[in-house]
A and B are shown apart, each in its own frame.
Chain A
Amino acid sequence: MTAFNGNTTKTGSAALATPVLSLGRRYWRDRLMLGLLASSTILVLVPLFIVIAYVVVQGIGALNWDFFTQELGSPTRAHTGQPTGLVHTIIGTLVVDSMALIIAVPLGIGAGVMLAEYPDHRLNPLLRLLNDTLNGMPAILKGMLAFALIVKPMGTFSGLAGAVALTFVMLPIIARATESALDIIPWSIREAGLALGLPRWRVILSTIIPAAKVGLVTGILIAFARAAGEAAPLLFTSFGNNYLPSRWTGWLFGPVDTLPQRLYSLAISPYKQWHEMGWAAGIVLLVMVILLFITARVTVRRA
Chain B
Amino acid sequence: MAAAPSTYELVRRTPPLLYRWLGDRIFAVLVTLFGLTVMGLAISLAVVLFWEGSEAIKTFGFWGFLIGTTWDPALTLTFGTFPFLIGTVVTSVAALALSFFPALAVAIFSAEYAPRWLSHIIDALVDLIAAVPSVVVGIWGIFVLAPWLRDHFYLPLYMWAAESRPELLPIIGSPMGYGMTTAVIVLALMIVPFTAALSRDAIRLVPKAQREACWALGATRWEVIRMAVLPYARSGIVAGAILSFGRAIGETMAVAMLIGNKNTLPFDLFGPAATMPSVIINEFREAVENLHLSSLMAIGFYLFLISLIVNLLAAYIQRKMMVAGGRSA
Which A residues are closer than 8 A to B by beta carbons? 1, 3-4, 7, 10-11, 14-15, 26-27, 29-30, 33-34, 36-38, 40-41, 43-45, 47-48, 50-52, 54-55, 58, 106-111, 113-115, 117-118, 121, 123, 126-127, 129-134, 136-142, 144-145, 147-149, 168, 171-172, 175, 197, 199-202, 204, 225-226, 228-232, 235-236, 239, 260, 263-264, 267-268, 275, 278-279, 282, 285-286, 289-290, 293, 297
Contact = CB atoms under 8 A, between A and B. Distances in A.
Interface string B245-260: 0100111110001000
B62 interface: no
A204 B27 contact: yes
Contacts of A51: 132, 136-137, 140
Interface in B211-230: 214, 217, 220-223, 225-228
B238 interface: no
Contacts of B24: 199-201
User: Majority SS of interface residues in chain B?
Assistant: helix
Contact of B49 (A27, A50, A141, A290): A141
A81 to B, nearest CB: 22
Contact of A260 (B14, B129, B135): B135
B31 A110 contact: yes
Given A37-B113, A139-B252, A199 B19 contact: yes
A-B residue pairs, 7 tightest by C-beta: A138-B250, A110-B34, A229-B133, A3-B324, A40-B105, A201-B27, A199-B20
B134 interface: yes
Interface in B103-122: 103, 105-106, 108-110, 113, 122
A293 B42 contact: no
Nearest to A152: B52
Q: Which of A1, A118, A168, A267 has most B Cβ within 10 Å?
A: A267
Interface string B171-201: 0000000000000000001001000100000
Contacts of B324: 3-4, 7
Interface stretch (B68-76, B152-160, B264-272, B299-307): B299-307
Given A132-B311, A140-B281, A175-B38, 11 more contacts: A3-B323, A26-B223, A40-B109, A44-B126, A48-B128, A111-B34, A134-B45, A136-B310, A138-B250, A148-B52, A279-B143
A44 B281 CA distance: 28
Interface of B: 14-15, 19-21, 23-24, 26-28, 30-39, 41-45, 48-49, 51-52, 101-103, 105-106, 108-110, 113, 122, 124-129, 131-140, 142-144, 189, 192, 196, 214, 217, 220-223, 225-228, 231-232, 243, 246, 249-253, 257, 277, 280-281, 284-285, 297, 300, 303-304, 307-308, 310-312, 315, 323-325, 328-329
Given A44-B192, A138-B307, A235 B281 contact: yes
Contacts of B132: 48, 51-52, 229, 286, 289
B189 A58 contact: no
A30 B222 contact: yes
Contact of B300 (A4, A136, A140): A140
B196 A1 contact: no
A235 B133 contact: no
Contacts of A134: 38, 41-42, 45
User: Majority SS of interface residues in chain A?
Assistant: helix
Contacts of A136: 243, 246, 307-308, 310-311
Contacts of B192: 44
B110 to A, nearest CB: 7
A133 B48 contact: no
Contacts of A33: 222, 225
B237 to A, nearest CB: 14
Contact of A47 (B189, B249, B277, B328): B189
Nearest to A226: B131
A33 B229 CA distance: 15
Contacts of B41: 134, 145, 168, 171
Contacts of B189: 47
Contacts of B221: 30, 34
A44 B103 contact: yes
Nearest to B44: A145
Contacts of A37: 105-106, 108-109, 113
A293 B193 CA distance: 15
A58 to B, nearest CB: 7
B250 A137 contact: yes
A297 B133 contact: no
A58 B142 CA distance: 13
13 contacts: A40-B101, A43-B102, A45-B122, A107-B37, A114-B32, A118-B28, A133-B312, A140-B277, A145-B44, A232-B252, A264-B135, A267-B135, A279-B139
B231 A7 contact: yes
A226 to B, nearest CB: 8
Given A40-B106, A144-B297, A231 B134 contact: yes
Contacts of A204: 27
Given A140-B300, A144-B280, A145-B44, A231 B14 contact: no
A239 B285 CA distance: 9
A133 B44 CA distance: 12
